[in-house]
């Protein structure tokens, strides 16, 4: 689970085993998304207290992502 808090993804960089999955939970009053740069995933808008449906990673690599509402918010997931 990646928490979104204070306009920051926590942790900003994380590791997922190949074939594993994770979710994003927004704890901020502001809406956020987690959207992959290459379009591999997009949580859609998450309002306060909402958790995304789990995202499964079946391809190894580094997935950088951002928030569509606040493009300065960025994170990275490494799948290996
Ligand atoms: Cu945001």
User: What CATH number should be reported for the domain holding residue 68?
Assistant: 2.60.40.420
pLDDT of residue 21: 97
Domain encompassing residue 30:
2-79
Query: Cα–Cα distance between 58 and 4 in angstroms, integer?
Result: 24
> What per-residue confidence (pLDDT) applies to 69?
98
Which tokens in the block code for residue 46? 């998450």
- What radius of gyration, in Å, describes the C-alpha atoms of the chain? 11
Cα–chain center distance at 2: 6
Reported as type and span, the H/E element at residue 66 is: strand 61-66
pLDDT recorded at residue 41: 98
How many angstroms separate the alpha carbon of residue 78 from the centre of ligand 1?
Answer: 21
C-alpha of residue 23 to centroid of ligand 1, in Å: 15
Give me the average pLDDT of each 10-residue run along the chain (80 residues).
98 97 98 97 98 98 98 98
The tally of domains found in the chain comes to: 1
Separation of CA 55 and ligand 1 centre (Å): 18
Residue matched to tokens 């207290």? 49
């Amino acid at each position: 689970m990646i928490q979104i808090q204070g306009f920051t993804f926590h942790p900003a960089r994380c590791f997922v085993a190949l074939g594993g999955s994770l979710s994003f939970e927004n704890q901020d009053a502001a809406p956020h998304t987690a959207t992959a740069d290459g379009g591999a995933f997009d949580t859609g808008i998450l309002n306060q207290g909402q958790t995304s449906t789990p995202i499964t990673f079946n391809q190894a690599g580094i997935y950088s992502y951002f928030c569509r509402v606040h493009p300065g918010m960025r994170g990275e997931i490494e799948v290996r």
